[in-house]
Amino acid sequence: MKDFLRGFGKYVLWLISTGICVYCYLLFRGVNLLMMQSLGWNRYLINLMDKAAMLVLGLIVIAVILLIQHLYIEKSLRYFLLVTAIQVMIYAFVQFVNLKLRSSLMLADYLILGVLIAMSVILYYSFLTLKRKQKTGPVL
């Protein structure tokens, strides 16, 4: 039963990370379209670049999802901290660019950006701490 729950937990964390990856992918697509429109490109070029960028980025996202599955299932659950730290940093950057392009940044947005960056740093530091502790004995 313990092995079942451990395996189930790994797949739940994998699904959470996959959901964050897909959300960041869709968020990046919106920012990409907004950026191309703000540069004054015509609609045919925007359509072509959107399809090409999403094809390449989609393949990268699929590779990242498979890498995340390998890290969680074959390696250790502590990689969830590292992967989530990277995903939070990517989300914060893309959301900041999105709001900057829309010219709708407020003071609260800077505060939220700072909190997301701090959260990402804390997750990364937790990963490093668990990695150091793992050398002395099994942690996760």
For residue 138, name the pLDDT band (cuts at 50, 70, 90).
low
**In the predicted structure, residue 135 carries a pLDDT above the cut 80:** no
Residue type for 56, please?
A: V
**Exposure class string for 37-66: b at 16+ Cβ within 10 A, else e:** eeeeeeeeebeeeeeeebeeeeeebeebbe
Q: How many helices (H) and strands (E) does the chain have?
A: 4, 0
Separation between Cα atoms, residue 37 and residue 15, nearest integer Å = 33
**In the predicted structure, residue 140 carries a pLDDT above the cut 60:** no
**Amino acid 137: pLDDT:** 62
Contact 50, 109 (CB under 8 A): no
Token pair 């390998």: residue: 70
Q: What is the pLDDT of residues 60-93, one digit of tens each?
A: 999 999 999 998 888 877 888 889 999 999 999 9
Q: What is the pLDDT of residues 92-111, one digit of tens each?
A: 999 999 988 888 888 888 99
For residue 139, name the pLDDT band (cuts at 50, 70, 90).
low
Q: What is the pLDDT of residues 122-133, one digit of tens each?
A: 999 999 998 888
78: helix, coil or strand?
coil
Q: What is the pLDDT of residues 10-48, one digit of tens each?
A: 889 899 999 999 999 999 999 999 999 988 888 899 999
127: helix, coil or strand?
helix
